[in-house]
Amino acid sequence: MSAVNALITRFKFSSLLNQDQGGRRIILQGSISGQPALLIAERSAFGTESYYLSSLTRLVAHVENLGENDIYRWYMANSLPDNTLDQPTPPDLKLNLIYPCTEKHVKKYSFQQMRSVTETPEIYAKYVRPYMRRCREEGRLNWVFNILDGKAEQENVLFRSEAGDKKDDYLLAPDLNWDRKTVGSLHLLALVERRDIWSVRELKKKDVAWLRQLRATLAKKVTELYEGVEADMLKFYVHYQPTYYHFHVHVVHVNLDPTVTQAIGKALGLDDIISQLETMGGDGEAGMADVELTYTIGEESELWTQVFKPLKEGLEPEVKE
């Protein structure tokens, strides 16, 4: 081993200074031969060679199922050699399995060119809302309703409210992409019980009080569940377009790196939505269905192929309800 390489093995750990990238990057303080040193460790990218990818599932060990719902399953696993029985190697892989998957899943998770589109109130009413209705009627929300109805994933429900009015109830669950232990990358989902709000588009001026109450109770409950987390360490946002058409709020720690899930063109701050509704003209029925929304979608998405691509080409979209 060269002298330069040997420096790594001689590093003596003393403290963890920081971690980011969802726990994939850590900064350690220590020493080498009595001299202070910092070691910054970051997990490397997966290999893309066929021989590696074909053997990936055989290389993982200690697979632990975290939960399942309908066709979705998620696990923690190890890709590193075992340490010792007294000090086992911690899981370093978060695995999500969709089985059996559909062609829609394949398109969703394949690389695709993104497009920025502007959805006017007219486009929403004439094409996008009928598309949303079709998605709901096709059963794409079964897994969400299974959670709300207590039929699945109840072991993953962190909290279920019991308000006087059923429409004020919600439940908290961990996002599939959170490892459930790194508080700095905390990512929770609040699924509301009411089923009349499919997305941010259904929100109206008359819903401001409900939204404010929802935000306040979420902040209070999350700070109670996670020691050391304070209300001003949390961000609240919704997606448009969302992955599924049942209103839900993302709750994340402010230290979570703002990846695609929080990007412009995808995320809308809950506080900004409340303020926009509150200052909007009109009566209580005025709402987010009356404004333009610009967001990004992939070329393989149904909204692009069935709505926005035809509109771009001067054609009439055909969206079957």
Query: Following DSSP, what letter does each residue of 167-194 receive, concatenated?
Result: GG-EEEEE-TTS-SS-GGG-EEEEEES-
Q: Using pLDDT thresholds of 50, 70 and 90, give the confidence band for residue 321.
A: low
Name the one residue in this structure whose structure tokens are 């996002």. Answer: 175
Burial class from Cβ neighbours inside 10 Å (0-12, 13-18, 19+) for residue 236 reads buried
Say if 161 falls within a structural domain: yes
Say if 63 falls within a structural domain: yes
282: left (phi over 0), alpha (psi -120 to 50) or beta: left
> What pLDDT does 231 receive?
97
Name the one residue in this structure whose structure tokens are 């690389």. Answer: 111
Nearest 5 degrees, angle CA 129-CA 103-CA 317?
35
163 and 90 housed in the same domain = no
> What pLDDT does 1 receive?
54
Q: Using pLDDT thresholds of 50, 70 and 90, give the confidence band for residue 234.
A: very high
31 and 142 housed in the same domain = no
Average pLDDT for the chain: 89
196 and 74 housed in the same domain = no
68 and 13 housed in the same domain = no
Q: Which domain holds residue 9?
A: 3-42
CATH of the domain at 258: 3.30.428.10
- Written as one letter, the residue type at 226 is Y
Q: Is 233 helix (H, G, I), strand (E, B) or coil?
A: helix
> What pLDDT does 271 receive?
98
> What pLDDT does 23 receive?
65
**How many angstroms separate the first and last alpha carbons of the chain?**
67
CB contact set of 193 (below 8 Å; sequence gap of 6+): 148, 166, 167, 168, 169, 170, 171
Q: Are 117 and 108 in contact (CB under 8 A)?
A: no
188 and 271 housed in the same domain = yes
Name the one residue in this structure whose structure tokens are 């819903």. Answer: 207
- 170 is written with which tokens? 């919600």
Q: Are 226 and 172 in contact (CB under 8 A)?
A: no
Q: How many domains does the chain have?
A: 3
Q: Using pLDDT thresholds of 50, 70 and 90, give the confidence band for residue 78.
A: confident
CB contact set of 21 (below 8 Å; sequence gap of 6+): 42, 257
Say if 317 falls within a structural domain: no
Q: Using pLDDT thresholds of 50, 70 and 90, give the confidence band for residue 22.
A: low
pLDDT over 80 (residue 5):
no
Say if 198 falls within a structural domain: yes
Say if 105 falls within a structural domain: no
213 and 142 housed in the same domain = yes
Where does a domain end: 64, 98, 132? 98
pLDDT over 60 (residue 21):
no
276 and 159 housed in the same domain = yes
Say if 319 falls within a structural domain: no
Q: Are 221 and 159 in contact (CB under 8 A)?
A: yes
Enumerate the H helices of the chain as residue ranges: 3-9, 50-59, 103-109, 121-123, 129-137, 142-148, 208-225, 270-279, 302-303, 309-312
Instruction: Report the percent of the chain where pLDDT is more than 90.
Output: 53
pLDDT over 80 (residue 300):
yes
Q: How far apart are CA 114 and CA 110, in angstroms?
A: 12
User: 93-114, pLDDT tens digit by residue?
Assistant: 878 888 888 888 888 888 889 9
pLDDT over 80 (residue 120):
yes
Long-range CB contacts (< 8 A, 24+ apart) of 311-318?
311/123, 317/127
Kindly state the average pLDDT of the residues 150-170.
87
pLDDT over 80 (residue 167):
yes
Q: Is 248 among the catalytic positions?
A: yes
pTM, two decimal places: 0.81
160 and 278 housed in the same domain = yes
Say if 93 falls within a structural domain: yes
Neighbours of 142 (CB within 10 A): 13
> What pLDDT does 313 receive?
97
Catalytic residue among 239, 246, 248, 253: 248
- Written as one letter, the residue type at 227 is E
Q: How far apart are CA 126 and CA 34, in angstroms?
A: 71
Say if 320 falls within a structural domain: no
Q: Is 110 helix (H, G, I), strand (E, B) or coil?
A: coil
81 and 174 housed in the same domain = no
- Estimate the share of the chain in helix, then strand, then coil, as percent rounded to the nearest 5: 35, 30, 35
User: Which has more pLDDT, 275 or 178?
Assistant: 275
